[in-house]
Structure 1
Protein backbone atom coordinates (compact mmCIF):
# COMPACT_ATOMS: atom_id res chain seq x y z
CA UNK A 1 0.00 0.00 0.00
CA UNK A 2 1.20 3.49 -0.83
CA UNK A 3 1.30 6.11 1.93
CA UNK A 4 0.04 9.56 1.13
CA UNK A 5 -1.28 12.88 2.34
CA UNK A 6 -4.08 15.18 1.33
CA UNK A 7 -5.52 18.50 2.37
CA UNK A 8 -9.12 19.36 3.20
CA UNK A 9 -10.19 22.99 3.33
CA UNK A 10 -13.46 24.63 4.29
CA UNK A 11 -15.30 25.85 1.18
CA UNK A 12 -15.48 29.39 2.58
CA UNK A 13 -11.63 29.49 2.59
CA UNK A 14 -11.20 28.18 -0.97
CA UNK A 15 -11.03 31.72 -2.36
CA UNK A 16 -7.97 32.34 -0.11
CA UNK A 17 -5.93 29.50 -1.64
CA UNK A 18 -2.90 30.85 -3.47
CA UNK A 19 -1.18 27.57 -4.26
CA UNK A 20 -1.32 23.81 -3.60
CA UNK A 21 1.82 21.72 -4.21
CA UNK A 22 2.34 17.96 -3.88
CA UNK A 23 6.02 17.77 -2.97
CA UNK A 24 6.06 13.98 -2.52
CA UNK A 25 3.64 11.19 -1.62
CA UNK A 26 4.32 12.10 2.04
CA UNK A 27 4.29 15.89 1.81
CA UNK A 28 2.02 18.61 0.43
CA UNK A 29 1.67 22.31 1.04
CA UNK A 30 -1.11 24.82 0.66
CA UNK A 31 -0.62 28.59 0.77
CA UNK A 32 -3.51 30.64 2.12
CA UNK A 33 -3.92 34.40 2.20
CA UNK A 34 -5.22 35.29 5.64
CA UNK A 35 -5.76 39.04 5.67
CA UNK A 36 -2.36 40.60 4.95
CA UNK A 37 -0.48 37.44 5.92
CA UNK A 38 0.30 34.27 3.94
CA UNK A 39 0.06 31.00 5.86
CA UNK A 40 1.97 28.05 4.39
CA UNK A 41 0.50 24.83 5.74
CA UNK A 42 2.43 21.59 5.23
CA UNK A 43 0.58 18.28 5.42
CA UNK A 44 3.13 15.61 6.33
CA UNK A 45 3.25 11.87 6.95
CA UNK A 46 6.64 10.80 8.29
CA UNK A 47 7.97 7.26 7.88
CA UNK A 48 7.08 5.01 10.79
CA UNK A 49 9.43 3.39 13.28
CA UNK A 50 10.89 0.33 11.55
CA UNK A 51 11.18 1.95 8.13
CA UNK A 52 14.70 2.41 6.75
CA UNK A 53 16.96 5.25 7.82
CA UNK A 54 17.29 6.21 4.13
CA UNK A 55 13.50 6.60 3.87
CA UNK A 56 13.41 8.67 7.07
CA UNK A 57 16.35 10.84 6.00
CA UNK A 58 14.77 11.45 2.60
CA UNK A 59 11.50 12.56 4.22
CA UNK A 60 13.14 14.90 6.77
CA UNK A 61 15.51 16.37 4.15
CA UNK A 62 12.59 17.01 1.78
CA UNK A 63 10.56 18.67 4.55
CA UNK A 64 13.58 20.68 5.65
CA UNK A 65 14.19 21.94 2.11
CA UNK A 66 10.52 22.88 1.72
CA UNK A 67 10.44 24.79 5.02
CA UNK A 68 13.73 26.51 4.20
CA UNK A 69 12.26 27.69 0.85
CA UNK A 70 9.28 29.26 2.63
CA UNK A 71 9.75 33.04 2.44
CA UNK A 72 10.38 34.67 5.82
CA UNK A 73 7.28 36.84 5.24
CA UNK A 74 5.09 33.70 5.41
CA UNK A 75 4.03 31.73 8.47
CA UNK A 76 4.91 28.01 8.23
CA UNK A 77 2.63 25.51 9.94
CA UNK A 78 3.37 21.78 9.81
CA UNK A 79 0.49 19.39 10.44
CA UNK A 80 0.27 15.65 10.11
CA UNK A 81 1.57 12.42 11.52
CA UNK A 82 5.28 12.82 12.22
CA UNK A 83 5.52 9.36 13.78
CA UNK A 84 7.70 10.15 16.76
CA UNK A 85 7.20 10.36 20.50
CA UNK A 86 8.56 13.64 21.87
CA UNK A 87 7.93 12.61 25.47
CA UNK A 88 6.53 14.46 28.43
CA UNK A 89 9.62 16.56 29.22
CA UNK A 90 11.45 19.23 27.22
CA UNK A 91 14.82 17.48 27.85
CA UNK A 92 16.92 20.39 26.62
CA UNK A 93 14.51 21.44 23.86
CA UNK A 94 13.14 24.48 25.71
CA UNK A 95 11.52 26.89 23.27
CA UNK A 96 10.67 23.93 21.04
CA UNK A 97 8.91 21.61 23.52
CA UNK A 98 6.54 23.14 26.06
CA UNK A 99 6.92 20.38 28.66
CA UNK A 100 3.51 18.74 28.22
CA UNK A 101 3.01 15.59 26.19
CA UNK A 102 2.68 11.88 26.82
CA UNK A 103 5.08 9.02 27.46
CA UNK A 104 8.79 8.80 26.69
CA UNK A 105 10.89 10.19 23.88
CA UNK A 106 12.08 7.86 21.16
CA UNK A 107 14.70 8.34 18.42
CA UNK A 108 12.11 9.49 15.88
CA UNK A 109 10.77 12.01 18.41
CA UNK A 110 14.27 13.38 18.98
CA UNK A 111 14.70 13.71 15.19
CA UNK A 112 11.43 15.64 15.13
CA UNK A 113 12.56 17.94 17.96
CA UNK A 114 15.94 18.55 16.29
CA UNK A 115 14.16 19.43 13.05
CA UNK A 116 11.91 21.91 14.86
CA UNK A 117 14.88 23.45 16.67
CA UNK A 118 16.89 23.83 13.43
CA UNK A 119 14.00 25.74 11.81
CA UNK A 120 13.09 27.78 14.91
CA UNK A 121 9.70 26.07 15.17
CA UNK A 122 7.76 24.98 18.26
CA UNK A 123 5.59 21.91 18.87
CA UNK A 124 2.45 23.75 19.84
CA UNK A 125 0.56 20.82 21.31
CA UNK A 126 3.31 20.35 23.93
CA UNK A 127 2.51 23.78 25.38
CA UNK A 128 -0.91 22.81 26.71
CA UNK A 129 -1.80 20.35 29.44
CA UNK A 130 -4.33 17.87 28.11
CA UNK A 131 -7.09 16.10 29.99
CA UNK A 132 -6.36 12.43 30.66
CA UNK A 133 -9.01 11.28 28.17
CA UNK A 134 -7.22 13.19 25.39
CA UNK A 135 -3.85 11.51 25.94
CA UNK A 136 -3.01 8.64 23.64
CA UNK A 137 -0.81 5.57 23.90
CA UNK A 138 0.41 3.83 20.76
CA UNK A 139 -2.21 5.65 18.71
CA UNK A 140 -5.16 4.43 20.78
CA UNK A 141 -7.23 6.67 22.98
CA UNK A 142 -7.20 5.68 26.63
Structure 2
Protein backbone atom coordinates (compact mmCIF):
# COMPACT_ATOMS: atom_id res chain seq x y z
CA UNK A 1 0.00 0.00 0.00
CA UNK A 2 1.46 3.36 -1.02
CA UNK A 3 0.61 7.05 -1.20
CA UNK A 4 -2.89 8.32 -0.62
CA UNK A 5 -4.30 4.82 -0.26
CA UNK A 6 -2.14 4.39 2.82
CA UNK A 7 -3.33 7.76 4.13
CA UNK A 8 -6.97 6.79 3.63
CA UNK A 9 -6.48 3.43 5.38
CA UNK A 10 -4.68 5.15 8.27
CA UNK A 11 -7.47 7.73 8.63
CA UNK A 12 -10.12 4.98 8.51
CA UNK A 13 -8.31 3.13 11.28
CA UNK A 14 -7.93 6.29 13.42
CA UNK A 15 -11.58 7.31 13.02
CA UNK A 16 -12.83 3.72 13.36
CA UNK A 17 -14.62 3.87 10.00
CA UNK A 18 -16.03 0.51 8.96
CA UNK A 19 -17.61 1.54 5.65
CA UNK A 20 -16.37 4.19 3.24
CA UNK A 21 -17.86 5.28 -0.08
CA UNK A 22 -15.83 7.64 -2.25
CA UNK A 23 -17.48 9.52 -5.09
CA UNK A 24 -15.99 11.13 -8.18
CA UNK A 25 -12.55 9.68 -7.90
CA UNK A 26 -10.08 9.22 -10.72
CA UNK A 27 -10.75 5.50 -10.44
CA UNK A 28 -13.23 4.30 -13.08
CA UNK A 29 -16.50 2.47 -12.46
CA UNK A 30 -18.18 1.36 -9.22
CA UNK A 31 -15.97 -1.08 -7.38
CA UNK A 32 -14.09 -1.73 -4.19
CA UNK A 33 -10.34 -1.16 -4.05
CA UNK A 34 -8.09 -2.94 -1.57
CA UNK A 35 -5.94 -0.39 0.26
CA UNK A 36 -4.29 -2.85 2.63
CA UNK A 37 -4.52 -3.44 6.36
CA UNK A 38 -7.99 -4.91 5.76
CA UNK A 39 -9.44 -1.69 4.31
CA UNK A 40 -11.41 -1.87 1.11
CA UNK A 41 -13.46 1.27 0.32
CA UNK A 42 -16.21 1.24 -2.28
CA UNK A 43 -16.00 3.98 -4.85
CA UNK A 44 -17.97 5.46 -7.66
CA UNK A 45 -15.84 6.90 -10.45
CA UNK A 46 -16.48 10.12 -12.32
CA UNK A 47 -17.82 8.45 -15.49
CA UNK A 48 -21.05 7.05 -14.04
CA UNK A 49 -23.63 5.62 -16.36
CA UNK A 50 -27.28 5.06 -15.42
CA UNK A 51 -26.58 1.37 -14.79
CA UNK A 52 -23.77 2.25 -12.39
CA UNK A 53 -26.05 4.70 -10.57
CA UNK A 54 -28.57 1.91 -10.18
CA UNK A 55 -25.88 -0.31 -8.66
CA UNK A 56 -24.89 2.47 -6.25
CA UNK A 57 -28.47 2.96 -5.01
CA UNK A 58 -29.04 -0.79 -4.64
CA UNK A 59 -25.73 -1.13 -2.75
CA UNK A 60 -26.44 1.70 -0.33
CA UNK A 61 -29.97 0.36 0.19
CA UNK A 62 -28.53 -3.08 1.01
CA UNK A 63 -25.93 -1.69 3.41
CA UNK A 64 -28.54 0.33 5.32
CA UNK A 65 -30.94 -2.64 5.49
CA UNK A 66 -28.22 -4.79 7.11
CA UNK A 67 -27.69 -2.33 9.98
CA UNK A 68 -29.17 -2.92 13.40
CA UNK A 69 -32.28 -0.84 14.07
CA UNK A 70 -30.64 1.12 16.92
CA UNK A 71 -27.67 2.15 14.75
CA UNK A 72 -27.56 5.70 13.37
CA UNK A 73 -26.77 6.30 9.71
CA UNK A 74 -25.20 9.41 8.25
CA UNK A 75 -24.72 9.50 4.48
CA UNK A 76 -22.27 12.32 3.88
CA UNK A 77 -21.83 12.82 0.17
CA UNK A 78 -22.56 15.08 -2.74
CA UNK A 79 -24.96 12.79 -4.54
CA UNK A 80 -25.30 15.20 -7.48
CA UNK A 81 -29.03 15.45 -7.00
CA UNK A 82 -31.15 18.56 -6.78
CA UNK A 83 -33.82 17.75 -4.18
CA UNK A 84 -35.62 20.99 -4.99
CA UNK A 85 -37.52 23.32 -2.69
CA UNK A 86 -40.88 21.51 -2.72
CA UNK A 87 -41.62 19.47 0.40
CA UNK A 88 -45.42 19.20 0.61
CA UNK A 89 -45.62 15.42 0.67
CA UNK A 90 -42.18 14.74 2.15
CA UNK A 91 -42.01 17.31 4.96
CA UNK A 92 -40.72 14.70 7.42
CA UNK A 93 -37.49 14.20 5.42
CA UNK A 94 -37.21 17.52 3.52
CA UNK A 95 -37.09 20.86 5.36
CA UNK A 96 -38.28 22.92 2.38
CA UNK A 97 -35.14 25.03 2.10
CA UNK A 98 -33.76 23.56 -1.11
CA UNK A 99 -33.54 25.41 -4.39
CA UNK A 100 -35.19 24.97 -7.78
CA UNK A 101 -36.84 21.82 -9.13
CA UNK A 102 -36.11 18.25 -8.14
CA UNK A 103 -34.21 16.30 -10.82
CA UNK A 104 -34.10 12.47 -11.27
CA UNK A 105 -30.95 12.13 -9.11
CA UNK A 106 -32.61 14.29 -6.47
CA UNK A 107 -35.63 12.00 -6.61
CA UNK A 108 -33.31 9.08 -5.78
CA UNK A 109 -31.98 10.99 -2.75
CA UNK A 110 -35.54 11.71 -1.57
CA UNK A 111 -36.58 8.08 -2.15
CA UNK A 112 -33.68 6.86 0.03
CA UNK A 113 -34.57 9.33 2.78
CA UNK A 114 -38.25 8.36 2.74
CA UNK A 115 -37.49 4.62 2.63
CA UNK A 116 -35.34 4.72 5.76
CA UNK A 117 -36.97 7.65 7.58
CA UNK A 118 -33.85 9.79 7.16
CA UNK A 119 -33.61 13.58 6.90
CA UNK A 120 -32.05 15.56 4.06
CA UNK A 121 -30.44 17.77 6.67
CA UNK A 122 -29.18 20.45 4.31
CA UNK A 123 -32.81 21.41 3.56
CA UNK A 124 -33.69 22.18 7.20
CA UNK A 125 -31.33 25.14 7.67
CA UNK A 126 -31.68 28.66 6.32
CA UNK A 127 -28.63 29.65 4.27
CA UNK A 128 -27.58 32.56 2.13
CA UNK A 129 -28.62 32.01 -1.49
CA UNK A 130 -24.94 31.78 -2.53
CA UNK A 131 -24.45 28.89 -0.10
CA UNK A 132 -27.33 26.80 -1.47
CA UNK A 133 -25.40 25.78 -4.58
CA UNK A 134 -22.10 23.93 -4.28
CA UNK A 135 -21.24 23.82 -8.00
CA UNK A 136 -22.11 25.99 -10.99
CA UNK A 137 -21.34 25.39 -14.62
CA UNK A 138 -22.07 27.85 -17.40
CA UNK A 139 -24.77 29.67 -15.48
CA UNK A 140 -26.50 26.41 -14.54
CA UNK A 141 -26.67 24.98 -11.06
TM-score, reference length from structure 2: 0.65
Larger radius of gyration: 2
- Gaps of at least 5 residues in structure 2 are 1-7, 23-29, 33-40
**Does the C-alpha gap of structure 1 residues 26 and 114 become closer, same or farther in structure 2, counting only changes over 3 Å?**
farther
Structure 1 stretches of 4+ moved >6 Å = 43-48
**Higher-strand-fraction structure:** 1
Q: Do residues 88 (structure 1) and 79 (structure 2) align?
A: no
Q: How does 1:14-93 map to 2 (within 5 A)?
A: 14=14, 17=16, 19-22=17-20, 25=30, 51-93=48-90
Instruction: Tell me the number of residue pairs that the alignment of Structure 1 and Structure 2 aligns.
Output: 116
1:72-121 residue CA offsets vs partner (Å, 9 max, x unmatched): 12111000111110001214212011100122110111111011101111
Distance in 1, matches of 2:90 and 2:10, equals 31
Q: Do residues 118 (structure 1) and 118 (structure 2) align?
A: no
**Does the C-alpha gap of structure 1 residues 83 and 23 become closer, same or farther in structure 2, counting only changes over 3 Å?**
closer
Distance in 1, matches of 2:42 and 2:86, equals 24
Question: RMSD of aligned C-alpha atoms?
Answer: 3.6
How far apart are residue 47 of structure 1 and its match? Answer: 7.6
Q: Secondary structure at the match of 2:75?
A: strand
Q: Secondary structure at the match of 1:78?
A: coil
- Gaps of at least 5 residues in structure 1 are 1-5, 28-42
How far apart are residue 8 of structure 1 and its match? Answer: 9.2
**Higher-helix-fraction structure:** 2
Quote the residue 2:3 is aligned against: none
1:6-41 residue CA offsets vs partner (Å, 9 max, x unmatched): 6996xxx93x62x523578578xxxxxxxxxxxxxx
